[in-house]
Amino acid sequence: MQAFLTYSIYGTALFLMLLGLYAVLMKKNLIKIVIGLSVADSGLHLLFVAVGYINGGTAPIFSPAVAGTGTVMTDPVPQALVLTAIVIGFGVTAVALALVVRLYRKHNTTNIDEIKNLKW
């Protein structure tokens, strides 16, 4: 059971990261490349949160029901870091989409093979 959990959670995170990388490397459509970046981001976030999880732990919030009972709590540090990572990921996606819009305006296509100016 424990081995299954380890493999499934870390495996899912790695699968998402590799899926995103595959989309970035293989897809021709610029929008799909941006989606790939975003998927790889989600995999990284899942990995971070999974590393900080502790069996039977609750969210690190001292609500009246939990305060003073000595309940096990998960590690709050990776969660705080993931919050930062999500915001940065949002900024990256927004700027990448803006660049896609700009390229579409110039070339009237989102297919990366038809944009020849980038080749030398």
Partner 1 sequence: MKNVIIISLLGVTAYYLLSAFVSIPFGEDFINGVKDFYLNKSPEDLKVANVVTSIVVNFRGFDTLGEVTVLFLASTALGSILYRRRSSHTALNPQRTAPQASTLVQAGAKVIFPFTVLLGAYVFIHGHLTPGGGFQGGAIIATGFLLMLISYRKFFVEHNVLTWIEALAGTSFVVIGLAGLVYADNHNFLENFLPAGELNDLLSGGIIGIIYIAVGFKVGAEITGILDTLLTIKEAGLDPEEN
Q: Which residues bind partner 1 (CB under 8 A)?
A: 2, 5-7, 9-11, 14, 17-18, 21-22, 25-26, 47, 50-55, 59-64, 67, 73, 75-77, 79-80, 83-84, 86-88, 90-92, 94-95, 97-99, 101-102, 104-106, 108
Nearer to partner 1 among residue 68 and residue 120 (C-beta): 68
Measured between alpha carbons, how far is 11 from 69 in angstroms, rounded to an integer? Answer: 34
Closest Cα partner for 80 from 104, 52, 101?
52
The C-alpha torsion from 108 through 119 and 89 to 84, rounded to 10°, is -150
Q: Which is nearer to partner 1, 17 or 30 (CB)?
A: 17
State the nearest-atom distance from the C-beta of 12 to partner 1, in Å. 11
Cα 41–chain centre separation: 2
